[in-house]
């Protein structure tokens, strides 16, 4: 009976070189940074502030 091996539980040094994904290029990292910095995080920030403002508005509406 052979032991059960899991790629999740195995040590990284046990994996073959062909198992790893190619390293991202500098251009891909730059595009990902721009995507996050210019689009994603501002949308998350506006959504967070909007949700906070909405919760305060609802609280005041229900308590006054």
For range 44-56, the mean pLDDT: 98
Look at residues 29, 9, 12 and name the one whose alpha carbon lies nearest to residue 20: 12
For range 2-15, the mean pLDDT: 62
Q: How far is CA 58 from CA 24, 44, 49, 64, in A?
A: 45, 21, 14, 10
pTM passes above 0.75: no
- Of the two residues 9 and 46, the one the predictor is more confident about is 46
Asked if pLDDT for residue 58 goes beyond 70, the answer is yes
């Amino acid at each position: 009976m052979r032991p059960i091996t899991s790629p999740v539980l195995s040590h990284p040094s046990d994996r073959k070189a062909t198992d790893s994904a190619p390293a991202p290029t500098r251009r891909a990292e730059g595009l990902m940074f721009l995507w996050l910095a210019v689009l994603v995080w501002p949308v998350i920030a506006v959504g967070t502030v909007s949700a906070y403002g909405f919760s305060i508005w609802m609280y005041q509406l229900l308590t006054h």
